[in-house]
């Protein structure tokens, strides 16, 4: 596995592979790999000839009060894990390699980048869309792989790919969960033992809603959101940021659950740790 830090080195290796007729998969990450990340890499290794993983804690997607400085990092461990699953190249640039001094261009979306996570993280999706568009331009992959855990992000990336005419297949990879249901996240690392068991309330609320829709044919979104919110509010350390049932494509809240709908939620634990999760409300 090759590890490079500059755009020029990444492009040189990738264009050699492309010259050999290889297809290229890109897995954009911010590092501190867990099995959710490795699942994205495995999907790319299965589907493409060469897999490129970018490892970049993107400063522009963090708000001033957020955890950029303390975001967990483990470069050596990450490279070992990526190599084990068959990644061909890790691109780990410094911020000035991605954002040249005086850069002025941003990618921002209108509708999809408002509401849900954007309410609590203003500017976050502009940071994500900008860095993803840059990575797409650097790597020019045939396919790019993103987790469904960040469902709003995935939807935004599909839209920007279409809007900016990138010829890249966007592959959404299902959420990888711990044995008890907790969605894997680098931010789980911040949880104390007691918080770790309390935050399961989000998974349970989503699971309750999915069960009601699929097994009991309840279709009224408000009724189910109220039930889920009551469950989450019983957790004293958790603050509910949002719980919403949306149409998967528009991400607009629905009142009657029909077709491809999804329940999305975010909680904050002891004001410090923000966790998100979601579930499809169809089979």
Rule CB under 6 A: which residues touch ligand PAF? 28-30, 58, 61, 128, 131-132, 150, 153
Smaller CB distance to ligand PAF: residue 40 or 224?
40
Return phi, psi of residue 89, to 5°.
Answer: -145, 130
Strand order in the sheet with 24-29: 2-4, 89-91, 50-55, 24-29, 143-147, 169-173
Angle at 63 between CA 58 and CA 66, to 5 degrees: 90
Smallest separation (angstroms) from ligand PAF to the CB of 239: 22
Q: Which helix (H) or strand (E) holds 2?
A: strand 2-4
Smaller CB distance to ligand PAF: residue 59 or 86?
59
Distance between CA atoms of residues 89 and 210, nearest Å: 39
Ramachandran category for residue 242: left, alpha or beta (phi over 0 → left; psi -120 to 50 → alpha): beta
Q: Which two tokens stand for residue 274?
A: 């923000």
Smaller CB distance to ligand PAF: residue 140 or 229?
140
Q: Which helix (H) or strand (E) holds 225?
A: helix 221-233
Smallest separation (angstroms) from ligand PAF to the CB of 258: 30
Smallest separation (angstroms) from ligand PAF to the CB of 54: 7
Residue 37 appears among annotated catalytic residues? yes
Smaller CB distance to ligand PAF: residue 157 or 205?
157
Smallest separation (angstroms) from ligand PAF to the CB of 12: 23
List all residues 6 or more positions away from 192 whose beta carbon is below 8 Å from its beta carbon.
none
Instruction: Please state, as a whole number, how many other Cβ atoms lie within 10 Å of the Cβ of residue 69.
Output: 8
Smallest separation (angstroms) from ligand PAF to the CB of 60: 9
Q: Which of 37, 207, 208, 211 is catalytic?
A: 37
Distance between CA atoms of residues 22 and 168, nearest Å: 15
89 three-state secondary structure: strand
Smaller CB distance to ligand PAF: residue 225 or 276?
276
Would you please indicate which residues are annotated as catalytic (active-site) residues? 37
């Amino acid at each position: 596995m090759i590890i490079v830090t500059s755009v020029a080195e990444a492009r040189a290796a990738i264009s050699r592979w492309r010259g050999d007729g290889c297809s290229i998969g890109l897995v954009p990450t911010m590092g501190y790999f867990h099995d959710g990340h490795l699942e994205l890499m495995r999907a790319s290794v299965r589907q493409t000839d060469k897999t490129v993983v970018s490892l970049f804690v993107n400063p522009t997607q963090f708000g001033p009060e957020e955890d950029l400085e303390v975001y967990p990092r483990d470069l050596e461990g990450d490279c070992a894990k990526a190599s084990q699953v068959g990644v061909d190249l890790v691109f780990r640039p410094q911020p000035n390699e991605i954002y040249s001094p005086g850069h002025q261009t941003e990618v921002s979306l209108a509708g999809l980048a408002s509401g849900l996570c954007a309410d609590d993280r203003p500017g976050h999706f502009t940071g994500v869309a900008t860095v993803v568009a840059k990575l797409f331009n650097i790597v020019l992959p045939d396919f790019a792989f993103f987790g469904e855990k960040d469902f709003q992000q995935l939807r935004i990336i599909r839209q920007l790919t279409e809007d900016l005419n990138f010829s890249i297949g966007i592959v959404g990879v299902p959420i990888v969960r711990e044995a008890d249901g907790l969605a894997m996240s680098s931010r789980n690392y911040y949880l104390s033992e007691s918080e770790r068991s309390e935050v399961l309330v989000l998974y349970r609320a989503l699971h309750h809603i999915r069960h009601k829709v699929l097994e009991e044919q309840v279709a009224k979104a408000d009724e189910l959101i109220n039930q889920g919110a009551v469950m989450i509010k019983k957790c004293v350390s958790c603050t509910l940021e949002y719980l919403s049932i949306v149409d998967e494509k528009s991400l607009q809240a629905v009142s009657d659950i029909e077709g491809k709908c999804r329940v999305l939620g975010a909680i904050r634990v002891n004001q410090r740790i923000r966790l998100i999760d979601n579930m499809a409300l169809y089979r």
